[in-house]
Structure 1
Amino acid sequence: MELLALGVLQKITIIARAYSKFVNFSTTQVYLIGGYYGAGGNIKSNFLMAFATMLAWRVINFGWLMGAELRNMIMAVKWGTYYLLKASTTDAGYVQLGDPISDHNCWERPEDMDLLRMVYKIDQNQNHPGSDVA
């Protein structure tokens, strides 16, 4: 989970990692730092991050078997959940950060990425429908 996490990480146990995405290089003024990348590219999608709920159920059902890793699992659930809460505002839901074509073709580390990011949102405006992700 730590390899896919973005933002100011609580602890870094993997030497190749550093803090990433301190600045929100998105096309909106919404604070969308945090969460996880998925699908092997530089795209954050709420569909992929919804696995935080699946992890939460695993912690509830099997946390007593996790031993010392229980704390790490709880932190992973919190990290994904906090991002999903930030991406849901009263007037819009931000469902994806990153262009599906250009960001999948970008093969640089998240720590080095400084591109302007496309943000996809849903709201009550007819130009941004999204019943499939709501």
Structure 2
Amino acid sequence: MMVYKRLKTWIFILSAFFLTNCTENDFECRNNRQFCNPIQSENLQESGPIIDKFLRELPRDLSSQEKLERLRDWFQCKSCVSHAEIFCNSCIYTLPPISELKITFIIAGQETEKILDIRMSEPLMFVGYHD
């Protein structure tokens, strides 16, 4: 009887873990090495195609804010990024507008802050980095 209670407890704990940790917004933190290699070589612009690929794969029914939040979360799971935040949504008045994310990279053990520009087209697109 004691073994049954322990097994039941473990099943409950594992079920709770998987149910609370898997949400609709979760994504696999993939392409870490592919993304971070050019960053570590200080060739930040070379990360653009990888960012564009991620943006193309986002569900079309998400709002622009939700897409930026997913991009921010994707950056934060990278080993070469210590912090990422949405700086502004569609704040640069071009056609289409451009949003900015503030990204803190870890390059050669040092933190380097850059602003990432994202074109708010469909799909969103990488524009570039600047100080």
TM-score range, shorter chain: under 0.3
Higher Cα Rg, which structure = 2
Structure of greater relative contact order (alpha carbons < 8 Å, 6+ residues apart) = 1
Which structure has greater helix proportion? Answer: 2
TM-score normalised per structure 1:
0.26
TM-score normalised per structure 2:
0.26
